[in-house]
Amino acid sequence: MVEEVIWTEQATFDFRQILEYLYDEWSYKTEEEYYNRVFEVIELIKEFPGMGELIPERPDSRKFLIAKFNYLTYVLIGNKLFVLSLIDTRMD
């Protein structure tokens, strides 16, 4: 059971960058929907930590599709969930 969620510096940076991108390129509504979806996904992962797809290059890590172009990567260590990064495949 996951007792704590820890965001890495990289994940925090990625999250801010994606939110800024969505706001600038799309709308506040899109940004807000993404924000809410990320935390919904984290709650799901807390309940079912093995549900994400294993990352071949990093077998201890998993990724979860947040939306059509967005992935969240994470690793579970003990009862701690580390959010490693957020990836938006539309961004350069």
H helix runs in the chain, sequence order: 9-25, 28-47
In order of 16, 19, 20, 60, the CA distances from 25 in angstroms are 14, 10, 8, 34
Of 27, 73, 42, 65, the residue nearest 19 (C-alpha)? 27
pLDDT of residue 88: 81
pLDDT in single tens digits along all 92 residues of the chain: 899 999 999 999 999 999 999 999 999 999 999 999 999 999 999 999 999 999 999 989 999 999 888 999 999 999 999 999 999 887 65
Quote the CA–CA distance of 5 and 1 in Å, as a whole number. 11
Write down the pTM of the prediction. Answer: 0.91
Question: For the chain, what are the domain ranges?
Answer: 4-88
pLDDT of residue 19: 94
Of 37, 50, 17, the residue nearest 9 (C-alpha)? 17
Reported CATH class of domain 4-88:
alpha beta
pLDDT of residue 78: 95
Ramachandran class of 78: left when φ > 0, alpha when ψ lies in -120 to 50, beta otherwise: left
